[in-house]
Structure 1
Amino acid sequence: MHKFDTIRPFYDSEVNGTLCKIAHHPMMKALMSFTFPDQKEEQWIDQLKKTHSIRDFQANFIYNALQKVLEKSSDGLTTSGFEKLEKHEPYLFISNHRDIILDTSLLNVCLMDHGLVMTASAIGDNLVKKSFIYDLSKLNRNFLVQRGLPPRELLQSSKLMSEYIGQLLFHENRSVWIAQREGRTKDGNDATHPGVLKMLSMASDEANLMDYFKKLKIVPVSISYEYDPTDALKMPQLKAEANDEIYIKDKNEDFVTLLSGIMGQKKRIHIHVGEVLDTEIDAIAAEFDNSNKQIQALAQAIDDSILNTYKLWPTNYIAYDLLHNTTTYAHLYTDKEKSLFERRLEIRIDENNPVELQGFLAMYANPVINKSRYQDAHKS
Structure 2
Amino acid sequence: MSKFDSIRPFYDAEANQAIRQIIDDPMLEAMMSFSFPNDSKKHWKERLIHTHSLRDFQINFIYPGLMRVLEKSSDGLSTGGFEKLEPNTAYLFVSNHRDIILDTSLLNACLYENGLVMTTSAIGDNLIQKPFLHTLSRLNRNFAIRRGLSGRALLESSQLVSAYIRKSLVQENRSVWTAQREGRTKDGNDITHRGVLKMLTLAEEGNNPFGFFEKIKLVPISISYEYDPTDILKLPELLAKSRQEKYVKGENEDFLNLLRGIMGTKKRIHIEVNGILDQEIRQIAQDESNQSEKLSQLAEVIDHSIWKGYKLWPSNFIAYDLLEGNEAHHSHYTESEKQAFQKRIQEKLNSESPEELQNFLSMYAFPVINKQKVKLN
Normalised-by-shorter TM-score class: over 0.9
Q: Does 1:325 align with 2:325?
A: yes
**Cα distance between partner residues in 1 of 2:355 and 2:129:** 32
* 1:254 equivalent in structure 2: 254
CA distance in 1, matches of 2:254, 2:178: 18
**1:14-34 deviation line (CA, Å, top 9, x unaligned):** 110111111111110000000
The residue type paired with residue 125 of structure 2 is D
What SS does the corresponding residue of 1:105 show, helix, strand or coil? helix
Show the 5 A alignment for 1:211-290.
211-290=211-290
Indicate conservation of the 8 Å contact 2:204/2:211, yes or no. no
1:118-133 correspondence to structure 2 within 5 Å: 118-133=118-133
Q: Secondary structure at the match of 1:331?
A: helix
Q: Which letter maps to 2:57?
A: F
Matched, 1:161 2:157: no
Report the Cα distance in structure 2 between the residues aligned to 1:53 and 1:11, rounded to whole angstroms: 8
Larger CA deviation: 185-194 vs 274-283? 274-283
State whether residues 214 and 277 of structure 1, in contact with CA within 8 Å, keep that contact through their aligned partners in structure 2.
no
Q: Does 1:109 align with 2:99?
A: no
Q: CA deviation at 1:287?
A: 2.7
Residue 75 of structure 1: aligned partner = 75
Residues 141-162 of structure 1 deviation map (CA, whole Å, 9 limit, x = unaligned) = 0000001113110000000000
- The one-letter code matched in structure 1 to 2:278 is D
Say if 1:226 and 1:268, in contact at 8 Å, map to a contact too: yes
Kindly provide the amino acid, as one letter, of the partner of residue 323 in structure 1: L
Shift of 1:86: 0.7
Segments of 4+ in structure 1 off by > 4 A? Answer: none
1:140 equivalent to 2:140? Answer yes
Q: Which runs of 5+ in 1 are unaligned?
A: none
- Give the letter aligned to residue 44 of structure 1: W
Which stretch of the first structure deviates more once superposed, 335-344 or 211-220?
211-220
1:60 to partner: Cα distance? 0.3
- Distance in 2 separating the partners of 1:351 and 1:369: 26
Q: How many residues align?
A: 377
Structure 2 CA distance, aligned partners of 1:243 and 1:207? 43
> Which residue does the alignment assign to 2:48?
48
Query: What per-residue deviation string (whole Å, max 9, x for no partner) do you get for residues 224-243 of structure 1?
Result: 00000000000111111121
SS at match of 2:219: strand
Counterpart of 1:186?
186
Residue 350 of structure 1: CA displacement? 2.9
In terms of mean alpha carbon deviation, does 199-208 or 34-43 score higher? 199-208
Structure 1, residues 333-365: CA drift from partner, whole Å, max 9, x if none? Answer: 001000000000000113511111000000000
Alignment-derived partner of residue 5 in structure 2: 5
Q: Shift of residue 6 of structure 1?
A: 0.4
CA contact (8 A) 1:34 1:65 kept: yes
In the alignment, residue 331 of structure 2 is paired with which amino acid? H
Shift of 1:211: 2.9
Contact 2:166-2:203 at 8 Å conserved across structures: yes
Identity %: 58
Structure 1 residue matching 2:3: 3-state secondary structure = helix
Q: What SS is found at the alignment partner of 1:4?
A: coil
Give deviations 1:202-221, integer Å, cap 9, x for gaps: 01125433432021211000
Q: TM-score, normalised by structure 2?
A: 0.99
Hey, what does 2:310 align to over in structure 1? 310
Quote the Cα distance in structure 2 between the aligned partners of 1:370 and 1:200.
25
CA distance, structure 2, for counterparts of residue 30 and residue 295 of structure 1: 44
Letter of the 1:264 partner, please give it: G
Aligned residue for 1:63? 63
Q: 5+ residue gaps in structure 2?
A: none
Determine if contact 1:206/1:212 at 8 Å carries over to the other structure: no
SS in 1 for 2:83: helix
Q: Give the corresponding residue for 1:99.
A: 99
1:202 aligns with 2:202: yes
Is this contact kept in 1: 2:9–2:142, CA < 8 A? yes
**C-alpha separation between the residues in 2 aligned to 1:206 and 1:345?**
53
Counterparts of 2:330 and 2:86 in 1: how far apart (Å)?
Answer: 40
**C-alpha distance in 2 between matches for 1:177 and 1:54:** 16
Letter in 2 for 1:147: R
Partner of 1:350: 350
Query: Residues of 2 paired with 1:57 and 1:256: CA distance?
Result: 25
Name the CA distance, whole Å, in 2 between partners of 1:366 and 1:351: 23
- Given the superposition, is the C-alpha separation of residues 288 and 313 from structure 1 closer, same or farther in structure 2, using an over 3 Å criterion? farther
| Partners of 2:181 and 2:216 in 1: CA distance | 18
Conservation of the 8 A alpha-carbon contact between 1:101 and 1:262: yes
| Structure 2 Cα separation of the partners of residues 328 and 298 of structure 1 | 33
In structure 1, what is the Cα distance between the partners aligned to 2:288 and 2:142?
A: 35
Residue of structure 2 in register with 1:294 after alignment = 294
